[in-house]
Structure 1
Amino acid sequence: MLRLNLFLLVVLVASSLYLVRVQYESRHLYAEIERAQNEFRKLEVEHERLQVEKRAQATPGRVEKVARDQLQMRPATPAITQYVTLKGTP
Structure 2
Amino acid sequence: MMRLNLVLLVAVIASAMYLVQIQYQSRRLFVEVEKAQSLSRKLETERERLEVDKRSQATPLRVERLAKEQLQMRTATPAVTQYVKLPKLDAVEGTKP
Q: TM-score range by the shorter chain?
A: 0.7 to 0.9
Q: Identity rate of aligned residues, in percent?
A: 62
1:42 equivalent to 2:42? Answer yes
Q: CA deviation at 1:77?
A: 2.1
Stretches of structure 1 that go unaligned for 5 or more consecutive residues are: none
Match for residue 7 of structure 1? 7
Provide the TM-score with structure 1 as the length reference: 0.87
1:76 equivalent to 2:70? Answer no
Distance 2:87 2:35 in 1: 68
36-45 or 77-86: which moved more?
A: 77-86
RMSD: 1.5
Stretches of structure 2 that go unaligned for 5 or more consecutive residues are: 90-97
Q: Secondary structure at the match of 2:41?
A: helix
Q: How many matched pairs?
A: 89
Provide the TM-score with structure 2 as the length reference: 0.81
Distance 1:63 1:70 in 2: 10
Q: Report which of the two structures shows the higher radius of gyration computed on alpha carbons.
A: 2
Q: Which amino acid aligns with 2:41?
A: R
Distance 1:2 1:86 in 2: 111
Q: Which amino acid aligns with 2:38?
A: N
